A and B are shown apart, each in its own frame.
Chain A
Amino acid sequence: MKKNKIWILIAFLLAAITVYFIFQTKNSTLNPELTDFAIEDTSSIVKIFIAEADGRTITLTRQPDNTWLINNKRRARQDAIDIILETAKKITVKYPVPESARENTIKLLAGRSTKVEFYTAGSKKPIKVYYVGNATKDLSGTYMLLEKNGKKSSTPFVMHIPGFHGFLNTRFFADTALWQHRAIFTLEPAEIEEIKVLTQDSSESFIIKKTNDGFALFDIKGKPVPGIDNELIRQYIDRFKSIYFEQVDNISPKSRIDSVLSTKPFYVISVTDTSGKTTKVETYRMPNFKNKTDEEGNPYPYDVDRMYARVFYPEGFVDFVYVQYVTFDLIQLKKSDFIEHSKRKNNV
């Protein structure tokens, strides 16, 4: 029996070693603790915290309807969220930072990196934290460092996404203005109660209101405008499905913004939805900063591509933004446009 005990002991010992080796079998000699940047299931991520070296921070949180909020207030751009989640999923080591450059890279990452934290539902601690540094010289990789259990790793890596040539640091930013969703009006016709368009010439202003028969056109005093083609009104309302601004103006000095706002708006468009919430946008001409000229070489009085706009959201936020004529020309109509178009149609 004593002999058997030795055999059994050896067998158990070997079994333990075998199990150890089976779990230790790796396809990589790199320490997985240091290279484990990727998050396989990004659908479980509910919060992303980004802090830039200049002190700016941002928290993005997933809502039950899968939209994301910036600092629990404003809606975030879905395309940017998709990119950050895709990056978190596909990110992989391109190569370890050479030993000769390691110290310098760590210093740079300590001073000038962006910290990113990913959280899953119900966990107070982030499941992944990393520091994103600069791009490599050939712009095909990005220096990064992982943090585990609150401790920064001592080994930075050059990270990339296989099949993508470029750097990743531009995907992680904490500028609220850049994260902001760019929608002004995204309403289906059925969701619209009233559209009010004020032009500089008040006789050209109009209101479109929901009626029992659909929608109807009124002048600014509330008097119905007769003989308007319903199809034209329907087409106009349809355009409020996707009206976006180009970007928040966080470059212009306050004096310029004040000067713009002191002028009379070019158009004021207010849309009230069926729940009574109103979104208002005021558009202002933008000076011809780029000095574009017409065919005869005369400079245009205003920018021919863009305008300034002030957007008043129903939640109480106000944005000063750039908008493009290509978008706004669709909704900046005058009352006479409807009348003339209807007349032409009837003549035909």
Chain B
Amino acid sequence: MVKVKEHNNNKRKKIKVNETIRFVSILAILLMVNVLSSFVNFRLDLTEEKRYTLASPTKELLKKLDDVVYIKVYLKGEFPAAFQKLSRSVKETLDEFKAIAGKKIEYEFINPSDFEDKKDREAVYKELFKKGLLPTDLSVKEEDGITNKIIWPCALVYYKEKEYPVNFLKTRIGLTPEESINSSIEALEYEFIHAIDMLMRDHLPSVAFIDGHGELDELQTADIYMQLSSSYAVSRVKLKEKINALTERIGKDTNITLKNKYDVIIIAKPDSLFSEKDKFLIDQFIMNGGKALWLIDGVQAEMDSLRNSDITVGFPKTNNLEDLLFKYGVRINNTLIQDLQAAPIPIVTGRFGNEAKTELFPWFYFPLLNPSGNHPVVNHLNPVKGEFVSTIDTVGDSHLKKTILLTSSKYSRFLKAPVRISLGILRLTPNPEIFNKSFLPAAVLVEGKFTSNYSNRLIPIIELSREIGFKHESPPTKQIFVADGDIIRNEVKKGSREYFPLGYDRFTKQTYGNKEFIMNCIDYLCDDTGIMQVRSRKLKLRLIDKARWKESEMFWKIFNTATPSFLVILGGLIFARLRKWKNTQKL
């Protein structure tokens, strides 16, 4: 009897030891599987918006790479969790790129602050800034107080000895830091593939500002000119009714072929009339596949008129372009948008001693135009500041694809010219009931095959001239029409040749999305590969609903603390019961 008991005791001990070993082994295995999963890049994209799947134009371009793209990412080091998340996303995006392009994509994460010597660190910062990278200055709470940290959420992309800067951080007015980081993550794929696309181009696409009709001058478009120059061959061209102004003729006699000299033309706020010949030149540029960005005012109104007087009148403005634009599917109305969502202007409200006291008031004639939908041109875009904006209608040919890009806010209205513009409205409290028109269009993209404005209007000798090479219809092309010329105009310091960045409001120190909008317009017009489509992808930001969270805060706190313990105890009980049952079975 004693022997049996001893035997049973030994057996139990053995089982206990075996089970302990098994338990420890399984625990170790689970732990290591967990650790390993962070190293192995395996992912099934089950997300609703396919956030981890590259867009087809990206894949196509990556497959076309014929040399190594080397990317230096400067987002490495110790920084807040949001930037760690951004850094991880950058790595994931690049790993996705690598999965397609293999050894043609190489990258490196670098900490630009990793220098003992302050002088060295500053030299590196200076170098990166010169290359077009923009740092972020963050205050970080540490044990011994708050320290300022400079973070470089950016990268340099190298391809065939050329380099291109990429800035990840997309800050927008009114966005929370989480939303900004999310926006930045959304834009990563586009930013990288756009850089690669720019580097892969053998020649820079050409952009020409049309001159000679009272358009904005060099200084008024200096900032966008500089910005465009980094990616495009930019120039200014006077039409002067010359047949070769926008197109060139190759060959002789019967073999003459027409070729556009520029990829895109910009017509920025013309002030005087276009002659029929100049209009014809632009028309034929479009008919030859050229693209155009039109920034045209429908009403003549300037703030300068309000400097000496409280009142001015906005008159209908004509540039003799109406028929051309109508033929291309749009009409810029002689109206002015008034919007409750508007940029402020300073107004003298009184005096404090000898000093004039000024206050900022929203000036309803300066609407902050919002992106309409998530078209690549306007996705992730800050509001665009307009000045005396007209409304735009889409008209005519239904075979043309028309996309509204910018609109006024929900609370807006329009006034027909002639219109009395008075600073007096700033003294009145706006009545929301009269701002009863919503989302008035201010910018339109038109795509498709355009018909010439001069079709069936020319005498045969011109129509059939080989030298002129008249075309009735264009190949598929694109044009963007904006009903405000000031959107592309940067502020200029009076008395000097200095200028402010485009979209920068010196009164509120706010930067609106004007520059990015114009850049996106040109990028989109020049984009033949569809890469701009990548810009339109949107990732859902699944943030905690703070209102709901406040309501059930205690419940979730208790649930999150107690549930794991409860599950462990439950598991332990089941395990003990099972073991007891197993042991009694064995005995």
Contact = CB atoms under 8 A, between A and B. Distances in A.
Interface of A: 1, 3-4, 7-8, 10-11, 14-15, 17-18, 21-22, 24-25, 27-30, 90, 93-96, 98-101, 136-138, 158, 162-165
A165 B127 contact: yes
11 contacts: A8-B25, A14-B28, A14-B36, A28-B106, A29-B105, A29-B108, A95-B161, A98-B67, A163-B126, A163-B127, A165-B127
A162 B127 contact: yes
A24 B36 CA distance: 12
Nearest to B125: A163
Given A4-B22, A99-B67, A164-B123, A27 B161 contact: no
A25 B39 contact: yes
Contact of B161 (A8, A29, A93, A98): A98
Interface of B: 18, 21-22, 25-26, 28-29, 32-33, 35-36, 39-40, 66-68, 70, 72, 76, 98, 105-110, 112, 115, 120-124, 126-127, 158-161, 163
A99 B66 CA distance: 8
Given A4-B18, A27-B109, A162 B124 contact: yes
Given A10-B25, A95-B70, A99-B68, A162 B112 contact: yes
A18 B123 CA distance: 39
Contacts of B29: 7, 10-11, 14
B32 A14 contact: yes
B145 to A, nearest CB: 29
A28 B70 CA distance: 10
Given A4-B18, A4-B22, A163-B126, A17 B108 contact: no
Contacts of A21: 35-36, 39-40
A11 B22 contact: no
Contact of A28 (B21, B105, B109): B109
B161 A136 contact: yes
A209 B181 CA distance: 78
A28 B39 contact: no
Contact of B123 (A3, A136, A163): A163
Contacts of B66: 99-100
Contact of B25 (A11, A28, A137, A162): A11
Contacts of B107: 28-29
A92 to B, nearest CB: 8
Contacts of B159: 98
Max count, chain B CB within 10 A of own CB: residue among A1, A14, A30, A90: A14
A94 B72 CA distance: 9
Contacts of A100: 66-67, 160
A95 B28 CA distance: 42
Nearest to A158: B161
Closest 9 CB pairs of A and B: A163-B123, A7-B25, A95-B158, A28-B108, A21-B39, A27-B109, A14-B32, A163-B124, A11-B28
Given A99-B67, A165-B127, 12 more contacts: A1-B18, A18-B35, A21-B40, A27-B110, A28-B109, A29-B105, A95-B72, A98-B159, A138-B161, A162-B123, A162-B124, A163-B122
A27 B68 contact: no
A14 B30 CA distance: 10
Contacts of A158: 161
Max count, chain A CB within 10 A of own CB: residue among B26, B108, B115, B124: B108
Contact of B106 (A15, A18, A90, A96): A96
Contact of A96 (B21, B68, B124, B163): B68
